[in-house]
């Protein structure tokens, strides 16, 4: 398995790209097992805190104003040891009912769909109950100790069941989801005046790409940058990485591969594990094909090949990267898109004849 660390200037709104520092290792510690038990990232615990009363109110108000975030609103209430009265719970239920009448759930009758909400809001005295395992003391996280919440990580359950987190950051002035997926936080470390935190999606089938979410907190600027990496877990690791990644231009007709060699014979894929749009490879060892010119970063050289990270705005003509939990649910309209909300860097090998160093 391969591990990549990088960031680009995001600040919750993509800006001019800078050369990111990459760190690559040959192992990736799993802090989660499929039985739904967190091992948890202990290094993150020191940043989990209970916000001051005024900020608690502001956070709860932000979540309460968006009816589709009501479940996380209840979890935050419990974390803040707040009580919610029956009239308040009934008001939430009625708002939900009206919301889902306008945005009907798929393949389920409205009344059946609302039963779970009725149980959690109206029929249970423990209205804030949740059955998700949680490896964090508090879902609110303060990286620089100024008693202001920089990130929120809400425990969540997914199909399988697979447990993980919905992670929130401030986007356009309000709390919005950065990612939501089964998995767990895997590593936290400091470098210069930045705090690096990463999270890996759990993979249920072999056809799924490795998805690595990364947060970089700048202590001086009190700002967060978020970025994401896609790579096949069979990607070959070079013997030596460059000490500093090199910015480059990738020429048209380049192919991104899992190893520095050409294999153009089709591979058989088990139909029980992957559908036609979920295949690990396009053909042979190719994971993406490009028909235009775009930006990237050279991470390593090996003979006539380069290990490259293609920039998020350089979209391939065709690619086979896919993960069942990395689409995006537009909660406001209850519509799910297979395309992720934030574009990832793509990692793989490209022949040097298709690369021009800047």
pLDDT score recorded for residue 58: 93
CB 358 within 8 A of CB 247: yes
> Does any domain span residue 19?
no
Tell me the residue range of the domain where 324 lies: 240-357
Average pLDDT over residues 168-195: 87
> Does any domain span residue 287?
yes
> Does any domain span residue 167?
no
Radius of gyration over every alpha carbon of the chain, rounded to an integer in angstroms: 22
H helix or E strand, kind and range, residue 298:
strand 294-302
pLDDT score recorded for residue 251: 97
3-state secondary structure of 69: helix
Banded pLDDT at 332 (limits 50, 70, 90): low
pLDDT score recorded for residue 298: 93
Q: What is the rounded distance in angstroms from the CA atom of residue 333 to the CA atom of residue 90?
A: 22
> Does any domain span residue 262?
yes
pLDDT score recorded for residue 123: 66
**Per-residue DSSP letter, 308:** E
Average pLDDT over residues 146-169: 88
Banded pLDDT at 234 (limits 50, 70, 90): confident
**Per-residue DSSP letter, 282:** S
CB 287 within 8 A of CB 232: yes
H helix or E strand, kind and range, residue 212:
strand 210-218
Over pLDDT 70: what percentage of the chain? 79
**Per-residue DSSP letter, 205:** S
pLDDT score recorded for residue 129: 53
> Does any domain span residue 349?
yes
107 pLDDT higher than 50: yes
pLDDT score recorded for residue 314: 94
323 pLDDT higher than 60: yes
Q: What are phi and psi of 324, to 5 degrees?
A: -65, -20
C-beta neighbour count of 6 within 10 angstroms: 23
Most confident of 174-188, 265-279, 307-321, 333-347: 307-321
5 pLDDT higher than 60: no
| Cα 28 off chain centre by | 16
Between residues 265 and 91, which one has the greater pLDDT?
A: 91
> Lowest-pLDDT range, 38-52, 161-175, 227-241, 277-291?
277-291
280 pLDDT higher than 70: no
For helices 70-79 and 53-64, the axis angle rounded to 10 degrees is 160
Non-local (6+) Cβ contacts of 159 within 8 A are none
Please name the residue ranges forming H helices in the chain: 42-45, 53-64, 70-79, 86-102, 110-118
Distances in Å between the Cα of 18 and the Cα atoms of 1, 9, 21, 282, 332 are 26, 6, 9, 30, 33
> Does any domain span residue 294?
yes
CB 217 within 8 A of CB 150: yes
> Lowest-pLDDT range, 20-24, 336-340, 347-351?
20-24
What is the number of domains present in the chain?
1
pLDDT averaged over every residue in the chain: 80
> Lowest-pLDDT range, 39-48, 215-224, 259-268?
259-268
142 pLDDT higher than 50: yes
Q: Among candidates 189, 136, 147, 139, which has minimal Cα distance to 167?
A: 139
pLDDT score recorded for residue 78: 85
> Lowest-pLDDT range, 121-125, 208-212, 320-324?
121-125
Banded pLDDT at 262 (limits 50, 70, 90): very high
> Does any domain span residue 152?
no
Q: What are phi and psi of 75, to 5 degrees?
A: -65, -40
Banded pLDDT at 260 (limits 50, 70, 90): very high
> Lowest-pLDDT range, 81-85, 164-168, 305-309?
81-85
Q: What is the rounded distance in angstroms from the CA atom of residue 142 to the CA atom of residue 227?
A: 19
Note the pLDDT tens digit of each residue in 193-206: 889 898 888 887 77
Between residues 330 and 110, which one has the greater pLDDT?
A: 110
Note the pLDDT tens digit of each residue in 33-83: 555 455 568 889 999 999 999 999 999 989 888 877 888 888 898 889 887
C-beta neighbour count of 217 within 10 angstroms: 22
**Per-residue DSSP letter, 68:** G
> Does any domain span residue 245?
yes
């Amino acid at each position: 398995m391969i591990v990549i660390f990088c960031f680009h200037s995001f600040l919750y709104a993509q800006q001019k790209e800078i050369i990111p520092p990459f760190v690559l290792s040959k192992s990736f510690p799993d802090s989660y097992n499929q039985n739904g038990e967190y091992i948890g990232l202990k290094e993150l615990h020191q940043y989990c805190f209970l916000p001051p009363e005024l900020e608690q109110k502001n956070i709860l108000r932000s979540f309460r104003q968006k009816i589709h975030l009501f479940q996380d609103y209840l979890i935050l209430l419990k974390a803040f040891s707040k009580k919610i009265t029956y009239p308040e719970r009934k008001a939430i239920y009625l708002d939900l009912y009206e919301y889902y009448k306008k945005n009907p759930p798929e393949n389920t009758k409205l009344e059946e769909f609302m039963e779970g909400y009725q149980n959690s809001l109206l029929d249970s005295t423990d209205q804030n109950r949740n059955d998700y395992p949680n490896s964090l003391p508090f879902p609110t996280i303060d990286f620089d100790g100024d008693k202001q919440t920089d990130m929120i990580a809400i425990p969540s359950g997914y199909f399988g069941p697979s447990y993980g987190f919905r992670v929130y950051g401030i986007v356009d002035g309000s709390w919005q989801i950065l990612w939501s997926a089964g998995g767990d936080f895997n590593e936290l470390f400091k470098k210069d005046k930045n705090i690096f935190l990463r999270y890996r999606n759990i993979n249920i089938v072999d056809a799924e790409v490795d998805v690595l979410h990364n947060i970089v907190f700048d202590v001086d600027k009190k700002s967060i940058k978020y970025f994401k990496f896609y790579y096949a877990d069979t990607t070959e690791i070079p013997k030596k990485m460059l000490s500093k990644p090199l910015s480059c231009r990738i020429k048209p007709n380049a192919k991104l591969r899992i190893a520095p060699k050409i294999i153009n014979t089709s591979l058989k894929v088990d139909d029980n594990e992957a559908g036609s749009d979920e295949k690990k490879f396009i053909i042979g060892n190719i994971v993406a094909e490009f028909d235009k010119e775009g930006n990237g970063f050279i991470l390593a050289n090996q003979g006539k090949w380069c290990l490259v990270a293609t920039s998020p705005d350089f979209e391939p003509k065709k690619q086979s990267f896919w993960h069942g939990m990395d689409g995006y649910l537009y909660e406001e309209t209850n519509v799910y898109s297979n395309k992720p909300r934030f574009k990832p860097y793509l990692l793989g090998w490209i022949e040097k004849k298709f690369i021009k160093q800047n």
